[in-house]
């Protein structure tokens, strides 16, 4: 009996010590995060080289890699993001690719020499849909970790020359940071895993972040910065319009075709292509002999694209092969593994092709999904951008039926 009691007491002691150790680590973690936030709050301006990368689910190589020279400014007058910034071309740091000044965002489209400005009056969202600049982004992630009552796990590990911070957020809604944190409400496009994961690496020499990694079920993104200079400039007189290049057409977001001349392709012959599908089979546009062909340009990390799959599966069996054929072209995944994984997860059998070369550029595709409907002569008869369950289904069926004269 005494041995049993001693065993129970020892067991309880171990449990208490474990709990105390856990509490102590949690407290130390928060102390370190507080220190980093304090350092970030001292930054009024920063210039740096930024390298951004993104991965599609199932991919082992980045879908895209871009490098910019960035000027970032703390902007307390902006109660949404809380910062302003401009991204400049690495080969010419006087030319912008994107700018947000607190009042509007401006995006440059080099191929059409167009600058699209958005004052956030067209789309009514609870947040401004743009990725904040690096130091603002890291600061708001860490502020959230320090103050939230959400279910999270927080891990801080010392490495050779850096400190690694891992924040995992559990819940029924994903958490994104557009300035402060926002819960992405129930969304038919984002089904499945809702855990949000943010990893931050800070330098031991200054306890400031130099790398942030964001991982969601639908995509992964990483940004790292180098050659950082702090508090060397001021936000005074900072305006996006100061970076507008002469000779570029200025368009307002939501008015006309802002991101290119995709609809100018209507009435013209569709650009040809030869691509491989998820089974390794080679398919070309010329090889499709049906009277009507539909091409969907899609992305494995695109929510609306995923939402369209049930309709597309039905559509394939609604018409005979001589009358109608359909292919989907993946534009952001870089490997066949991404296609195979996506196809298996979503259980469809229609041709799923990996884009190559200039196919998406030839069709002037910059957002997903986009549907091109071609007649028997492969003339583009209709272009449908985006996807809404029901409404887009009807629009596609109507276009096909008109060409088939049903």
Is residue 359 within 8 Å of residue 330, measured between CB atoms?
A: no
pLDDT digits (tens, 9 = 90+) for 255-299: 654 444 566 799 999 999 999 998 889 999 999 999 999 999 998
Averaged confidence pLDDT in the chain: 88
Q: What phi, psi does 214 have (nearest 5°)?
A: -115, 130
Mean pLDDT of 84-105: 97
Report whether pLDDT(389) > 50.
yes
Q: How far apart are the first and last CA of the chain?
A: 88
- 308's tokens: 């369209």
Give CA–CA dist 270/256, Å, rounded.
22
Q: Tens digits of per-residue pLDDT, 216-262?
A: 887 899 999 999 999 999 999 999 999 999 999 999 987 654 444 56
- Please check whether residue 337 is in contact with residue 304, taking contact to mean a CB–CB distance below 8 angstroms: no
Element (H, E) at 106: strand 105-109
Tokens of 64: 């895209």
Tokens representing 395 are: 């629009």
Enumerate domains of the chain plus CATH numbers: 29-252 (2.50.20.10), 262-404 (3.40.30.10)
What is the pTM assigned to this prediction?
0.77
Asked if the model's pLDDT at residue 97 lies above 80, the reply is yes
Predicted local distance difference test score (pLDDT) of residue 16:
42
CA distances from residue 169 to 55, 149, 156 in whole angstroms, order as listed: 20, 11, 15
140 in Cβ contact with 180 (< 8 Å): yes
| Residue 285 structure tokens | 């546009």
> Residue 367: how many CB atoms within 10 A of its CB?
14
Q: In whole angstroms, give the CA distance from residue 199 to residue 364.
A: 35
Q: Which of 119-128, 160-169, 311-320, 374-383 has the lowest mean pLDDT?
A: 119-128
Report the C-alpha gap between 136 and 143 in whole angstroms.
10
Query: Is pLDDT above 50 for 392?
Result: yes
Q: In whole angstroms, what is the distance from residue 317 CA to residue 102 CA?
A: 49
Give dist(CA 30, CA 23) in Å, integer: 11
């Amino acid at each position: 009996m005494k041995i049993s009691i001693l065993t129970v007491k020892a067991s309880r002691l171990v449990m208490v010590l474990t709990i105390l150790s856990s509490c102590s680590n949690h407290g130390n973690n928060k102390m370190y995060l507080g220190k980093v936030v304090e350092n970030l709050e001292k930054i009024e301006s920063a210039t740096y080289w930024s390298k951004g990368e993104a991965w599609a689910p199932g991919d082992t190589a980045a879908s895209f890699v871009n490098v910019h020279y960035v000027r970032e400014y703390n902007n307390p007058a902006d109660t949404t993001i809380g910062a302003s910034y401009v991204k400049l071309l690495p080969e010419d740091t006087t030319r912008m690719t994107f700018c947000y000044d607190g009042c509007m965002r401006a995006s440059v489209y080099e191929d059409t020499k167009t600058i699209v400005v958005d004052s956030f009056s067209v789309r009514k969202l609870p947040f401004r849909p743009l990725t904040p600049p690096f130091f603002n982004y890291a600061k708001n992630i860490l502020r959230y970790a320090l103050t939230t009552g959400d279910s999270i796990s927080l891990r801080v590990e010392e490495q050779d020359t850096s400190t690694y911070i891992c924040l995992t957020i559990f819940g029924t809604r994903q958490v994104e940071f557009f300035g402060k944190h926002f819960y992405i409400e129930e969304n038919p496009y984002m089904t499945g895993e809702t855990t949000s994961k943010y990893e931050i690496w800070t330098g031991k020499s200054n306890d400031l972040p130099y790398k942030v990694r964001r991982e969601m079920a639908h995509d992964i993104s990483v940004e790292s910065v180098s050659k950082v200079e702090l508090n060397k400039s001021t936000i005074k007189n900072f305006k996006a319009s100061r970076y507008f290049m002469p000779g570029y057409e200025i368009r307002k977001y939501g008015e006309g075709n802002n991101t290119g001349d995709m609809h100018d392709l209507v009435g013209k012959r569709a650009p040809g292509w030869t691509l491989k599908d998820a089974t390794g089979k080679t398919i070309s546009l010329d090889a499709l002999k049906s009277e009507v062909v539909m091409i969907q340009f899609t992305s494995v990390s695109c929510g609306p694209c995923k939402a369209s799959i049930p309709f597309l599966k039905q559509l394939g069996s609604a018409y005979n092969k001589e009358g109608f054929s359909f292919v989907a072209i993946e534009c952001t995944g870089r490997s066949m593994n991404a296609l195979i994984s996506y196809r298996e997860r979503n259980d469809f059998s229609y041709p799923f092709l990996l884009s190559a070369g200039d196919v998406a550029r030839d069709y002037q595709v910059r957002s997903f999904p986009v549907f091109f409907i071609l007649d028997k002569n492969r003339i583009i008869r209709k272009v449908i951008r985006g996807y809404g369950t029901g409404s887009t289904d009807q629009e596609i069926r109507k276009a096909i039926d008109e060409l088939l004269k049903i």
